Amino acid sequence: MNINFTLVSQAIAFSVFIWFTIKFVWPHLLRAIEERQKQIADGLAAGERGKKELELASQRSLEVLKEAKQRASEIVIQAEKRAADIVEEAKANARVEGDKILAGAKAEIQHEVFGAREALRQQVASLAVQGATKILRREVNPKVHADLLSSIEAELK
């Protein structure tokens, strides 16, 4: 327990160590710690903001979805109406076209009938002439009755 010059030397060492800590150790790490604290606080705030934005976005998406559904149903109704219209129109067209075809067919049949009747008539005339010729060959001199025969033939035509 003897006080001596060691005390002074230790006090000097002590003050130098304190100076060293104040100058080199404390501020460096304090700055790092404070900066990190700020970063963490910023990160937390950003997270909070993101959460809020997500909430808003999901609300907005719900609204958009509702609107889209409504529009889709409207479009479907319109499309159904349009389809019905198209079917109606097609039916009408088909009916007109059918009538037209029917009329054409009828006309053609008429024409055929006329043709057939004409041909029939000629064949009947020639057959009649042939028959008459065969009958008359025996009794009628073709030379004598030529003008009569040709007039009959002309009439039959």
The residues, any chain, with a CB within 8 Å of residue 149's CB and separated by 6 or more, are 129, 132, 133, 136, 142
- Told to check if 57 binds other proteins by CB under 8 A, we report no
Helix, strand and coil content of the chain, in percent to the nearest 5, comes to: 95, 0, 5
CB of 49 to other proteins, least distance (A): 22
Interface with other proteins, residue 58, by CB under 8 A: no
Residue range at the interface with other proteins (CB under 8 A); choices 29-37, 76-84, 87-95, 112-120: 29-37
Nearer to other proteins, 46 or 119 (CB): 46
Verify binding: residue 76, other proteins, rule CB under 8 A. Answer: no
Nearer to other proteins, 30 or 56 (CB): 30
Nearest residue to 152 (alpha-carbon basis) of 131, 118, 115: 131
Which of the residues 36 through 55 are near other proteins (CB under 8 A)?
36, 39
4 forms part of the interface with other proteins (CB under 8 A): yes
Stretch that binds other proteins, among 32-40, 65-73, 135-143, 144-152 (CB under 8 A): 32-40
Establish if 144 lies at the interface with other proteins (CB under 8 A). Answer: no
- Report d(CA 28, CA 120) in Å as an integer: 129
Given candidates 10, 59, 70, 133, which one binds other proteins under the rule CB under 8 A?
Answer: 10
Cα dihedral 57, 62, 68, 69 in deg (nearest 10): 170
CA distance 117 to 121: 6
> In the structure encoding, which two tokens stand for residue 12, read together?
């000097």
- In the numeric block, which tokens belong to residue 41? 């606080």
Q: Which residues bind other proteins (CB under 8 A)?
A: 1-11, 13-15, 17-18, 20-22, 24-33, 35-36, 39
